[in-house]
Structure 1
Amino acid sequence: MLTLYGVPGFGSAISEVMLAMTREPYDFVNVEGFDQPGPQQEKLIAINPLCQVPTLVLEDESIMTESAAIALMLLDRHPQFAPRPGTPARDRFWRLLVWLVANVYPTFTLADYPERLVDEQQAQLKANAQRLRKTYYQWLEQELGEGPYTFGEEITLLDAYWPVLRCWGPGREWFAANTPKLNAMADNVCVRVELETVLKANKLL
């Protein structure tokens, strides 16, 4: 069985939603406090020296990290959770998946841990990162169709991102007012019965 090390509501929530979507059996280990010195950090470092969530331990005890990499692994097992190969939608799926982790994710690192990068003007760095993130979401809104999911009627692993990102900054009210299509897609993911347990566990409902 797979074992996911994470924290409810953190980035591991995205991978946990993907696991629930694909109905992969897994155990969840809560390592809340991993980003501060202490036993939880030591526990995670012993498994993954990079000390990051999600950390997914596979059946052969090898380690998988990065939500996009976990998505690709799951697609090898469950190819129905992405558009068909050889279609324009498939190309857009790859683009948006990589775009999210290459562009949006770093704004959270900058805003949440500015001390890792600068000794001074940390508040300004945080504000700039949050402002940049809003422009990314507004660009994404223009790229989306009318739903109900990112690629129409069929849910894909990319849709696992929307309920989680909506609960992070700039928050639910901002998404509802500024990215209504993205907000509606997050709503559609949140009403899926097979995801109710994991969404509640991560305080996404």
Structure 2
Amino acid sequence: MITVYGAPGWGSAISEVMLTLAKIPYKFVDVTGFDQPGPQQDALSALNPLCQIPTLKMTDGSVMTETAAIALMILDEYPALAPPPDTPQRRQFQRLLIWLVANVYPTFTYADYPERWTETGARELVESCQKYRKTLYLWLESQLVAAPYALGEQLSLIDVYIAVMRSWGPRHDWFKDNTPKFFAIAERVYQLPELQDVLRRNDIIPGTSE
């Protein structure tokens, strides 16, 4: 069985939701506090010296990181979570998958830990990243179909990113006011019965799982 090392509500939530949709069994290990010295960081660094989440320990003992790579691995086993090959939707899926991790993700990396990158301009760096992130979401909004999912009628792993990211900054009200398609796609994903437990455990929707 796959073991997912992560923290509720963090980027590991994306991998958890993807695995759940694909009906791939996994075990979750909570390493909250991994980003500070201590036992959780030690446990994670034994598998991933860079101490990133999600970190997946595969059934064969190998280690996988990076949500886009994990998404591609999942598609090998459950190809229905992406549009069919050789279609415009498939090419858009591939483009947006890489775009999200190459462009939006870094704004969290820099804004969440500004002290790693600057000794005197932490506040300015955070504000700049947050402002830039909004421009990225506005561009993404222009690429979405939202009928009812990001690329049309078919649910894809892009919708998982949107659903989880809507719970991050700039938060609910901003997305509702400025990116209505993005907001509506997340709402649609939140209604899927098979995702209720994993979304609650990651504080993405209200309530607690049993």
TM-score scaled by structure 2?
A: 0.96
* Cα distance in structure 2, aligned partners of 1:176 and 1:84: 30
Q: Deviations over 1:96-136 (max 9, x none)?
A: 00000000000001110011111111100000000000000
User: Structure 1 stretches of 5 or more lacking a match?
Assistant: none
* Cα distance in structure 2, aligned partners of 1:197 and 1:160: 15
* Cα distance in structure 2, aligned partners of 1:9 and 1:146: 24
The Cα shift of 1:153 comes to 1.4
The Cα shift of 1:146 comes to 3.2
Q: Which moved more, 1:11-20 or 1:141-150?
A: 141-150
**1:2 alignment partner in structure 2:** 2
- Please tell me the root mean square deviation across aligned C-alpha atoms, in Å: 0.6
* Cα distance in structure 2, aligned partners of 1:154 and 1:144: 13
**2:208 alignment partner in structure 1:** none
* Cα distance in structure 1, aligned partners of 2:149 and 2:59: 31
1:14-53 to structure 2, matched below 5 A, reads 14-53=14-53
1:99 aligns with 2:99: yes
Q: Deviations over 1:45-98 (max 9, x none)?
A: 011111110001111010010000000000011111100011111100000000
The Cα shift of 1:163 comes to 1.8
Structure 1 stretches of at least 4 aligned residues deviating more than 2 Å after TM superposition:
none
Letter in 1 for 2:128: N
* Cα distance in structure 1, aligned partners of 2:12 and 2:40: 15
User: Structure 2 stretches of 5 or more lacking a match?
Assistant: 206-210
TM-score scaled by structure 1?
A: 0.99
* Cα distance in structure 1, aligned partners of 2:171 and 2:144: 19
Corresponding residue SS for 1:4 = strand
**1:57 alignment partner in structure 2:** 57
1:154 aligns with 2:154: yes
The Cα shift of 1:143 comes to 0.8
* Cα distance in structure 2, aligned partners of 1:154 and 1:181: 15
* Cα distance in structure 2, aligned partners of 1:78 and 1:57: 19
Cα pair distance change 1:146/1:162, threshold 3 Å: closer
1:108-123 to structure 2, matched below 5 A, reads 108-123=108-123
1:114-193 to structure 2, matched below 5 A, reads 114-193=114-193
Percent identical: 57
